[in-house]
């Protein structure tokens, strides 16, 4: 299977070059793979995920995702909209928007008409088991429900890669398990690549491969 | 598009009190512009009608006076005007301002009985005065406001003028005042042999009024000035100019204050929503869409302010017009250009005030914005 993510000698320094968040990362992830990136706090795993998601630019090295060179310094907005879907530790939903409206947000940049956007978003809300809560606002939903909405939002625009940063980090273990079940099901059915950053061993064990990091390096 | 517009509306409505206060702040500026515009326009129309009373081609007043009401033209000068080649008729009118119980500035027009026809006053009731008698033909608006009818008397400077008729010309200053015999007003105001203004009609031979008035002014060596339109009015009355200047200055201030208000509100909202903007960028929103959203919010503030501002402005005018003194000077001028100005100010204020916060919102790095607490 071909590699969808290829990173070579990836470096990202903060505060001048005092903090070496990424210090020469080499990583290949195959198309359709389910990988967990694990490591203690400050090991650079979230920074790496931000690079893979086009939220931040590496200082040096090579990074190509789904055939796109992420080092070219171009605006990665379209990449973020089409190629990757993000699930954050904190659900990061917009509180003034309903669950359904939050799922529609990424579709604003697509060419879909309003009706089609709504239909697709409703399908995604159904998929994550929240059909009856589509019109609920985030503050009215439980932590697990919010994270489900966040997963539905990550699936909008049908991205090839799902990136999840500590998706169970702010949930109790039962809700965390349900979220992991959902993510694993989506990965299994949708032929998507799933990259999860976690420091929880139980979450990591669900992945088909674990990449461990320490002090900005893969170990 | 509709969903995007709904998002913008929702964003504004999330902070109701702040939105309402901002709209109120900007709309007060717009209301002032509308109110002053309508009053200035109305006064300007009134003055234009005074100058063109009875379809006069132009009005003559004393040159270099600070206020039109101070103008004084002598009987000799009036004779000279009448004798000027090209002048068909010249009617002297003396203005007198008196206080009445309900109107602190009641305007009296002193005119000779034989000249009344020339000012095209329609007698709606009664008759015109007889020269030499303390008789008054009252304007329709004044009659209503002062609750006067034929047979009543109006005390003017210690004399009781009997009301013998009611007239109307369509000019609020005339309809809000009264016509009295010229000689009586001259005597009462100790202005014997003087008039304030002379209404001039030219003969058919005069085709170019402008060159005629130029020659006319030269003939009187600057002692007299001619008013052919309201623009000429500034030469004898700085009041209109002051009003115009005030109106412009307030518009500029409204734009600046309103702009800062919008900028403050939108800037606060952008900073408070740093994380949200980070989310929108993370899920693939282009900078342009973020910019459009923030500018849209600012623009909506402007649109609301235009609506509220115009409503307040019209309300103030409605209130002002309940006063007799306003009715006797002013017919509100609801011309398109006043509302155009209000809309322009509202749009300028909102877009101008929204540009910087919107630009700032696009500068957030998605990763940093997401870390923002």
Map residue A114 onto helix, strand or coil: helix
Phi-psi region of B100 (alpha: psi -120 to 50; beta: other; left: phi over 0): beta
| B69 backbone dihedrals φ, ψ, rounded to 5° | -70, -15
Residue whose pair of structure tokens reads 């978003």 in the numeric block: A121
Give the global pTM.
0.80
Map residue A217 onto helix, strand or coil: strand
Rounded Cα–Cα distance for residues A127 and A43 (Å) = 34
Helix pair A114-127, B2-13: axis angle to 10 deg: 70
CB contact under 8 A, B284 and A80: yes
Map residue A167 onto helix, strand or coil: coil
DSSP collapsed to 3 states, chain B: CHHHHHHHHHHHHCCHHHHHHHHHHHHHHHHHHHHHHHHHHHHHHHHHHHHCHHHCCEEEEECCCCCHHHCCEEHHHHHHHHHCCCEEEEEEEEEEEECCCCCCCEEEEEECHHHHHHHCCEEEEECCCCCCCCEEEEEHHHHHHCCCCCCCEEEECCEEEEEEEEEECCCHHHHCCEEEEHHHHHHHCCCCCEECEEEEEECCCCCCHHHHHHHHHHHCCCCEEEECCHHHHHHCCHHHHHHHHHHHHHHHHHHHHHHHHHHHHHHHHHHHCHHHHHHHHHCCCCHHHHHHHHHHHHHHHHHHHHHHHHHHHHHHHHHHCCCHHHHCCCCCCCCHHHHHHHHHHHHHHHHHHHHHHHHHHHHCCHHHHHHCC
Nearest CA in chain A to B275: A92
How many other C-beta atoms can be found within 10 angstroms of the C-beta atom of residue B118?
18
Beta strand A161-165 pairing with A84-87? parallel
CA distances from A103 to A52, A94, B119, B368 (A): 22, 10, 75, 22
Rounded Cα–Cα distance for residues B279 and B369 (Å) = 8
CB contact under 8 A, A92 and B4: no
Give yes or no for A108 touching B (CB within 8 A). yes
| B119 backbone dihedrals φ, ψ, rounded to 5° | -90, 5
**Nearest Cα to B254, choosing from B295, B313, B294, B336?**
B313
Burial class (CB in 10 A: 0-12, 13-18, 19+), B188: buried
pLDDT of residue A92: 85
- Among B7, B14, B19, B284, the strongest candidate for a mutation testing the A interface, having the largest count of A CBs within 10 A, is B284
Structure tokens at B284: 């693939």
Rounded Cα–Cα distance for residues A84 and A50 (Å) = 11
Evaluate whether A153 touches A103 at the Cβ level (below 8 Å): yes
- How many CA atoms lie within 13 Å of A180's alpha carbon, on the beta-carbon side? 24
CB contact under 8 A, A92 and B279: yes
- Among A12, A15, A77, A166, the strongest candidate for a mutation testing the B interface, having the largest count of B CBs within 10 A, is A77
CB contact under 8 A, A157 and B275: no
CA distances from B115 to A35, B19, B129, B180 (A): 104, 60, 12, 12
Structure tokens at B74: 């002598």
Rounded Cα–Cα distance for residues A17 and A96 (Å) = 39
CB contact under 8 A, B283 and A117: no
Instruction: For residue A154, list its beta bridge partners.
Output: none
List all residues 6 or more positions away from B307 whose beta carbon is below 8 Å from its beta carbon: B27
Per-residue pLDDT of chain B (373 residues), as tens digits, is: 777 888 899 888 888 898 999 999 899 989 988 998 999 888 888 888 887 777 788 999 998 887 888 899 999 999 999 999 999 999 999 999 988 877 788 899 999 998 888 888 889 999 999 988 899 999 999 999 888 999 999 988 888 899 999 999 888 888 999 999 999 999 999 999 999 999 999 998 888 888 899 888 888 888 898 888 777 776 667 777 787 788 888 888 888 888 898 899 899 999 998 989 999 999 999 999 999 999 999 999 999 999 999 999 999 999 999 988 888 788 898 999 999 989 998 999 899 999 999 999 998 888 888 877 6
pLDDT of residue B128: 92
ipTM at complex level: 0.91
**Nearest Cα to A196, choosing from A49, A57, A90?**
A49
Structure tokens at B275: 């994380």
Rounded Cα–Cα distance for residues B304 and B21 (Å) = 11
Low-confidence ranges of chain A (pLDDT < 50): none
Beta strand B122-126 pairing with B159-168? antiparallel
Give yes or no for B191 touching A (CB within 8 A). no
pLDDT of residue B288: 93
Map residue A13 onto helix, strand or coil: strand
Map residue A30 onto helix, strand or coil: strand
Burial class (CB in 10 A: 0-12, 13-18, 19+), B166: buried
Evaluate whether A89 touches A166 at the Cβ level (below 8 Å): yes
Map residue A197 onto helix, strand or coil: strand
Give yes or no for A101 touching B (CB within 8 A). yes
**B364 alpha carbon, distance to own chain's centre:** 47
Give yes or no for A57 touching B (CB within 8 A). no
| B127 backbone dihedrals φ, ψ, rounded to 5° | -145, 170
Rounded Cα–Cα distance for residues B25 and B10 (Å) = 21
Buried b vs exposed e over B267-281: b needs ≥16 C-beta within 10 Å? bebbeebbbbbbbbb
A-chain residues near B281 (CB < 8 A): 77, 80
Structure tokens at B223: 């002692």
CB contact under 8 A, B284 and A81: yes
Instruction: For residue B97, list its beta bridge partners.
Output: B107
Rounded Cα–Cα distance for residues A71 and B148 (Å) = 89
């Amino acid at each position: 299977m071909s590699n969808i993510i290829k990173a070579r000698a990836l470096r990202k320094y903060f505060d001048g070059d005092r903090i070496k968040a990424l210090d020469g990362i080499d990583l290949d992830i195959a198309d359709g793979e389910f990988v967990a990136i694990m490591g203690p706090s400050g090991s650079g795993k979230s920074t790496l995920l931000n690079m893979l998601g086009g939220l931040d630019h590496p200082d040096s090295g090579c990074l190509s995702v789904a055939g796109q060179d992420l080092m070219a310094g171009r605006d990665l907005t379209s990449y973020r909209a089409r190629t990757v879907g993000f699930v954050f530790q904190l659900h990061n939903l917009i509180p003034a928007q309903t669950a359904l409206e939050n799922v529609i947000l990424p579709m604003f940049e697509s060419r879909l008409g309003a009706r089609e956007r709504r239909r697709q978003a409703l399908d995604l809300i159904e998929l994550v088991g929240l059909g009856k809560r589509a019109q609920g606002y985030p503050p009215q939903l439980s932590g697990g429900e919010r994270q489900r909405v966040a997963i539905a939002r990550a699936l909008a625009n049908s991205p090839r890669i799902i990136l999840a940063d500590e998706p169970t980090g702010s949930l109790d273990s039962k809700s965390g398990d349900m979220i992991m079940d959902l993510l694993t099901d989506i990965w299994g059915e949708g032929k998507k690549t799933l990259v999860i950053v976690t420091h929880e061993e139980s979450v990591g064990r669900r992945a088909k491969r674990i990449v461990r990091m320490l002090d900005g390096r893969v170990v | 598009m509709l969903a995007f517009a709904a998002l913008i509306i929702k964003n504004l409505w999330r902070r109701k009190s702040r939105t309402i206060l901002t709209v109120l702040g900007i709309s007060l500026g717009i209301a002032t512009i509308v109110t002053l515009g309508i009053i200035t326009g109305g006064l300007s129309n009134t003055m234009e009608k005074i100058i063109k009373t009875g379809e006069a081609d132009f009005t003559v007043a004393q040159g270099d006076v600070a206020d039109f009401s101070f103008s004084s033209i002598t009987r000799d000068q009036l004779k000279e005007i009448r004798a000027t080649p090209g002048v068909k008729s010249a009617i002297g009118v003396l203005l007198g301002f008196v206080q009445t119980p309900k109107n602190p500035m009641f305007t009296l027009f002193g005119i000779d009985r034989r000249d009344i026809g020339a000012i095209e006053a329609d007698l709606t009731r009664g008759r015109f005065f007889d020269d030499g008698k303390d008789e008054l033909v009252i304007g329709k608006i004044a009659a209503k406001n002062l609750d006067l009818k034929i047979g009543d008397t109006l005390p003017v400077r210690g004399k009781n003028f009997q009301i013998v008729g009611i007239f109307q010309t369509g000019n609020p200053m005339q309809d809000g005042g009264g016509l009295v015999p010229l000689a009586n007003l001259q005597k009462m105001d100790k202005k014997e042999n003087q008039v304030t203004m002379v209404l001039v009609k030219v003969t058919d031979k005069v085709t170019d009024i402008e060159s005629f008035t130029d020659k006319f002014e030269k003939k009187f060596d600057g002692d007299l000035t001619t008013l052919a339109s309201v623009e000429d009015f500034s030469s004898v009355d700085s009041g209109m100019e002051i009003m115009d200047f005030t109106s412009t200055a307030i518009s500029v201030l409204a734009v600046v204050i309103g702009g800062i208000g919008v900028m403050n509100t939108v800037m606060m909202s952008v900073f408070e929503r740093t994380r949200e903007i980070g989310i929108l960028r993370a899920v693939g929103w282009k900078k342009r869409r973020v910019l459009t959203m923030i500018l849209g919010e600012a623009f909506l503030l402007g649109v609301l302010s235009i609506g509220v501002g115009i409503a307040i402005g019209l309300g103030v005018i409605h209130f002002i017009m309940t006063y007799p003194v306003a009715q006797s000077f002013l017919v509100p001028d609801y011309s398109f250009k006043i509302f155009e100005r209000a809309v322009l100010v509202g749009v300028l204020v909102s877009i101008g005030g929204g540009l910087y916060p919107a630009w700032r919102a696009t500068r957030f790095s998605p990763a940093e914005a997401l870390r923002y607490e």
